[in-house]
Chains A and B, each alone.
Chain A
Amino acid sequence: MCHSKYFEIIIFRLQVIEGSDNPLQEVVSVKGQKKDAEENIIEIKDLRKIYKVGNETVVALNNINITIKKGEICCFLGTSGSGKSTLLNMMAGLEKPTKGTIKIAGWDVEKLSEKKLALFRQNHIGFIFQSYNLMTFSNALENVAMPLIFKGMGRKKRNKAAKEMLKAVGLEDRINHRPSEMSGGQQQRVGIARAFVAKPEIVFADEPTGNLDSKTSKDVMDMIVEMATQYNQTLIIVTHDLSVSKYAHRVFHILDGDIDKIEVCS
């Protein structure tokens, strides 16, 4: 099952590369040569998170130990309340763990100050949300260029990069449209373009298809996986959707704050 899906992706990818003169290709290949493919980009040790709600304590994550390699596509699969979103939030530095360490791309995420966290996110992380989280008053181009603005990139350069990104997700004719003028699938594709525009090493996707129908979900997932593969980026997907988990190399089943089992497909 996993096999056939992956084969499909490879074919799709080849089509894309042949069909377009993608200038990013070069960068990718250079990067791929430099970096060791077997390098561990995410190391999570003894991670524990406890929430205090009134007098009760809720164990969101019990004891998580995960190592993820560069370029790997991983999926955290679980029901709502299993703790999978908490895990994602802690990896992105949005929440502090109660115990344990998270090391991502050489940064000790749990120890970072707010300022360092911002720099960490600027340089290493892309984010895809369930509810897209686009800037409602900005058009597609501005939304995609936003992470580059925060990095301090000049206007011409970032608009060029954003346009290329929008072209790659097939929205070159929607550049000046606002989120309210686009369908859910189109909005999510803007979200994908935004997540990948700064070429982060890791992209987090939190229920990326949660608001989409099955046909669009498939398109969107194909696109995310294809991009991550193309740039040799690590992709972490959090979902409760089994069909989404099939895109992953490894699937972590999360249950009540623990890793229930790990499924390896390849």
Chain B
Amino acid sequence: MKKFDLIRMALGNLWRRKVRTVLTILGVLIGTASITLMLSLGFGIDQSYRGSLERMGSLNVIQVYNYYGGGYYMEKSVSVRGSGGGGGGGDSETKKLNDATCEEIEAIPGVQAVLRMLDTSVKFGSGRYVAWGQLLGINPEAMEYFDFVVDKGRLLTENDTTAIVFGSDVPRNFYNPKDRRSNWWGYSQDTEPSVNVLKDRLIMTFDMSYGEPQHSPTEGKRPKRYHVEGVGLLSWEGSMNYSWYAIANIDYVKKIIKENERMQGNRRRNQETIYNQIKVRVEDLDEVVNVQNAIKDMGFQTYSLNDQMVEMQKTSRVIQAVLGGIGAISLLVAALGITNTMVMSIYERTKEIGIMKVLGCLLKDIKNMFLIESGLIGFIGGIVGGVFSIGASVLLNKFLAPALMGRMGYGVQVDKISIIPSWLLLAVVVFSTFVGLISGYSPARRAMKLTALTAIRTE
């Protein structure tokens, strides 16, 4: 029998019992639509988690800290020795977060850039106004990889020395120490900052009493004053993590720190710079965990938003499994419906099957005809269910998402609560067709095994 004829006959048989076919398809529709919608809610939760994390910073970034608390480290190194059998079991000397280490980390496969961070407290002055600030030295070439987004001006380049890019909150810190109404803590978001950091002349110094009415006595020489130039202002939204920093080229920061130490009488030469913290950007999100483990193995403490992401993903997997399970139950019921329809159909068509056999229809054609019928029920149900879920998903996003928007609290962004990826639709149609075939298998075998004789005797 030709495949086309088989399908045509199967369609004809379904068409003959329209009401029953439609009802069975309706069952499959409900089953597939509930699976799709439940899973789409799971994806929506996943997406909003991810969205809110991404607003906190890039998921690809790993923060690396020096290990301080010796106790924990000791404990760890002992345990490593115990299990590792001595073979390379931990360095006897604690590894330092210095330039050599940074280069080592840069060499780890998958690492895109390393941001070296050296920070120190400074004071800024401009005319009558002063501001306490945190000067952050970074390597400018890595800036583009680490969420530095300028609102005005430009980012740093490698040749910059006295150029400074300010975090969005820094300009508001300027106050007039001689004016009682103006305080560094008294700034308001609404008022314009007193100093335009991009235009006004700026002075930077390690002298914390600079500009204050009463100079606190300091040992040694008074720290030098540096003329610096504001070249950029970061946007608040794009660079939330750097809003309190004044950012300069790391070479320049190293230079002035050394200069200051010398002036304060610290004569140790060529002292190595040790960073409190560096940031590592990984090119591929999937590589984050590997790179993070590699850095941990070097003996550093690490943290990345990806850690949180992994936890959240675990939670949302559970939610998806539970929701998907609820949907699966309704598809199971639909599968029973298909089996029932097919069994009924075989009882009704006993005679017909017998005639077909006597006329020389192959058993495999009879079986296939029934399988095609049940498969078609699953297939059509899957497609209609998919279309239905797309519609329902659009409605959910339009009407339910805004209502939920306010309830999830700060940091959780709710754009869409239901997301249906196209692969899910495809998978659901394939799955429901498969369910149809499975449900129809035993009835089809039964039809095949009917003997032609009893079949034609049935009146």
Q: Do A and B come from one complex?
A: yes
Query: B-contacting residues of A (Cβ < 8 Å)?
Result: 89, 92, 94-95, 114-115, 118-123, 125, 127, 129, 131, 133-137, 146-147, 149-152, 154-155, 194, 198
The answer to whether B362 and A150 touch across the interface, beta carbons within 8 angstroms, is yes
- Contact of B360 (CB < 8 Å), options: A119, A133, A135: A119
Given A131-B459, A150-B1, A154-B2, decide whether A194 and B359 contact each other with a Cβ distance below 8 A.
yes
Q: Is the CB of B357 within 8 A of A149?
A: no
Asked if residues A118 and B357 are in contact (CB atoms below 8 Å), the reply is yes
Cβ-defined contact, A150 with B16, below 8 A = no
What residues of chain B lie closer than 8 Å to A152, measured between beta carbons? Answer: 1-2
Pair A118/B363 contact, Cβ less than 8 Å:
yes
B352 within 8 A of A: yes
Residues of chain A lying within 8 A (CB to CB) of residue B421:
none
Shortest A8–chain B CB gap in Å is 31
CB of A150 within 8 A of CB of B459, answer: no
Q: Is the interface of B mostly helix, strand, loop or mixed?
A: helix
With the chains together, A122 CA to B361 CA distance in Å? 7
Kindly list chain B residues whose C-beta atoms are within 8 Å of the C-beta of A137: 12, 16
Who on chain A is nearest to B15 by CB? A137
Query: In the complex, which residue of chain A has the Cβ closest to the Cβ of B363?
Result: A114
Determine whether the beta carbon of B360 is less than 8 Å from that of A121: yes
* Contact present for A115 and B358 (CB under 8 Å): no
- Contacts A94-B451, A150-B1, A150-B365 given: A125-B16 contact, CB under 8 Å? no
Say how far A86's CB is from chain B's closest CB, in angstroms: 10
Decide yes or no: A94 and B452 within 8 Å by CB, A121-B358, A150-B1 being known contacts: yes
Minimal Cβ-Cβ distance residue in A for B459: A131
Q: In the complex, what residues of A have CB within 8 A of residue B1's CB?
A: 149-150, 152
Q: How far is the CA of A237 from the CA of B104 in the complex (A)?
A: 97
The answer for the CA separation of A118 and B356 in the assembled complex, in Å, is 10
Interface 0/1 of B358-379, CB less than 8 Å to A:
1111111100000000000000
* Complex interface: chain A residues within 8 A of B355 (CB): 133-135
Other-chain contact of B358, A95, A127, A134, A135 (Cβ < 8 Å): A127
Chain B window 422-459, contacts with chain A (Cβ cutoff 8 Å), 1 for yes, 0 for no = 00000000000000000000000000000111001001
Residues of B within 8 A of A92 (CB): 358
A136 to chain B, nearest CB (A): 8
B3, closest chain A residue (CB)? A152
Chain B contacts to A: CB under 8 angstroms? 1-2, 5, 9, 12, 16, 351-352, 355-365, 451-453, 456, 459
Residues in A with CB closer than 8 Å to B363 are 114-115, 118
CA separation between A122 and B355, bound complex, in Å? Answer: 12
Min Cβ gap A109→B in Å is 13
In the bound complex, residues from chain A placing their C-beta under 8 Å from that of B362 are 115, 118-119, 150
Measured CB to CB, the closest approach of chain B to A201, in angstroms, equals 13
B-chain residues with CB within 8 Å of residue A136 when the two chains form the complex: 352
Docked pose: A89 CA to B451 CA in angstroms: 12
A121→B359 contact, CB < 8 A = yes
CA distance A135 to B356 in the complex (A): 9
Smallest CB–CB gap between B363 and chain A, Å?
5
A147 and B359: CB pair below 8 A?
yes
Expressed in whole angstroms, the minimum distance between the Cβ of B215 and any Cβ of chain A is 105
Q: How far is the CB of B458 from chain A (nearest CB, A)?
A: 10
Residue in B2, B351, B360, B453 with the greatest tally of chain A CB atoms within 10 Å: B360
- Measured in the bound complex, the distance between the Cα atoms of B16 and A120 in whole Å is 31
Instruction: Judge whether A150 and B359 touch: CB under 8 Å.
Output: yes
Taking a contact as CB atoms under 8 Å apart, the answer to whether B456 and A146 are in contact is no
Q: Which residue of A lies closest to B354 (CB)?
A: A133
Q: Which residues of B contact A131 (CB under 8 A)?
A: 459
On whether the beta carbons of B360 and A129 are closer than 8 Å, the reply is: no
Q: Determine if B359 and A146 form an interchain contact, defined as CB atoms under 8 angstroms apart.
A: yes
Tell me, in angstroms, the Cα distance from A133 to B452 when the chains sit together. 12
Partner of A150, one of B12, B360, B451: B360
Tell me the smallest distance from the CB of B372 to a CB of chain A, in Å.
15
Q: Could you name 25 residue pairs across A and B whose Cβ atoms are closer than 8 Å?
A: A94-B453, A95-B453, A115-B363, A115-B364, A118-B360, A118-B361, A118-B362, A118-B363, A121-B357, A121-B358, A122-B359, A125-B360, A127-B358, A129-B456, A131-B459, A134-B355, A137-B12, A149-B2, A149-B5, A150-B1, A150-B356, A150-B362, A150-B365, A154-B2, A198-B360
A135 to B363, CA, bound (A): 18
Which residues of chain B have C-beta atoms less than 8 A from A149's C-beta? Answer: 1-2, 5, 9
**Residues on the B chain within 8 Å of A133, using CB:** 351, 355, 358, 456
Which B residues are CB-close (under 8 A) to A120?
A: 360
